[in-house]
Amino acid sequence: MNTAIETSAAADPKQMTSFAEFYPFYLSEHSDLTCRRLHFVGSSLVLASLLLFFVTGLVIFLFTAPLWGYGFAWIGHFGFEKNKPASFKRPLYSFMGDWVMYKDILTGKVKI
């Protein structure tokens, strides 16, 4: 693990004043491969649910989207990472981190 991530993990996320400062902490909270994979699956299902809503107009897909996203993420955290989700500490930055990590997984910057 690199020093920037180790340092951020020890810091209090509630004291972080920018997303750039928060994201290394966010990544340190997702060091377990299974947790990252579950996040990726959950986020993919969120996108699929939103697409299905726009294609079909069925509101049920708007309700399933957060269930997929948070459900898979929380299983990853409580079952594999053994920590509390970052969304409990910094909800907006955590939401942003989910999608930046998703992009970073798709571009190969974060491994799954």
Domain definitions of the chain by residue range: 40-112
pLDDT score at 14:
87
pLDDT score at 3:
40
Pair 49, 55: CB distance under 8 Å: no
- DSSP letter at 69? H
The per-residue pLDDT for range 33-73, each reduced to its tens digit, is 999 999 999 999 999 999 999 999 999 999 999 999 999 99
pLDDT interval class at 12 (50, 70, 90): confident
Q: Which is more confident, 5 or 46?
A: 46
Q: How far apart are CA 59 and CA 3, in angstroms?
A: 45
